[in-house]
Structure 1
């Protein structure tokens, strides 16, 4: 796709976002299944519902602006999803894996926050006021999900991982 104008860039970013969200709908159930911390499982499950709503919002933006999404693959999300899969494959179930899943999920959220913020800025520049309102809802949800993940980590998940026997192995006595 040749990007020559801000409109082209907006469409490219929106198409990329749509691809990323669809990839995420396939990854989130796997993350939820792999998590052992109940709050983390619930966060992944809740975010799946939000993500499905975010895809619907993209469709609303497309209809509102009379756009046709480009068939592209979000390679950044593909890599982030792969990192989550590696955590599942390489770390035994338990608190250490949960800490790794939080890390992988927050990388996704930070990517989404940056992408959505840029898309909102482009939309404002182009005068897409109603579309920006929809996109801002998604941006706010991503920020909220990131905060929830931080709270889960700080609320004991990382502490549980630190107390795990394998984690203690490498620590020196104080």
Structure 2
């Protein structure tokens, strides 16, 4: 990665985030199928729709700024997606797997919150108000998704998983 100025840094970070979102759009259907709790299934399905809108926003930013994304693969998201596959392969479908899926999904959200926060700061630094507005909209959605996942865990998901494993 050879980055020499703020614009190149922004393009690199936006390209990385675009890759992350594309990877998540492929992983979310698998996560939805792997979940047991209907509310968690619905959360994954809703987040897939949201992710597709977020990809479209990145496309808008590219057009607004007249930039070209780099072809890179987000290694961080690749690792998080792989962790999700490991959960699906190693934990039987039920409350315990759901608890692990929620935890993995929150790791993804925290990564995305950091990515969009960084992008927003870079857009602001460059005076890219329209891009900033779009990035802040996505950042707000990522934070809301993280809160929804926390509520799912706190509203009995983790407790059911613990009770299930004690009974076994």
TM superposition score normalised by structure 1: 0.95
SS at match of 1:72: coil
**RMSD of equivalent CA atoms:** 1.0
SS at match of 2:92: coil
> Within 1, Cα distance between the matches of 2:82 and 2:167?
28
- The yes-or-no answer on 1:74 pairing with 2:71 is no
Q: CA deviation at 1:169?
A: 6.3
> Within 2, Cα distance between the matches of 1:138 and 1:13?
15
> Within 2, Cα distance between the matches of 1:49 and 1:66?
26
The structure that has the greater radius of gyration is 1
> Within 2, Cα distance between the matches of 1:169 and 1:111?
34
Shift >4 Å, 4+ stretches: none
SS at match of 1:92: coil
> Within 2, Cα distance between the matches of 1:13 and 1:136?
15
TM superposition score normalised by structure 2: 0.98
Q: How does 1:1-174 map to 2 (within 5 A)?
A: 1-164=1-164, 167-168=165-166
Structure 2 unmatched runs, 5+: none
Structure 1 unmatched runs, 5+: none
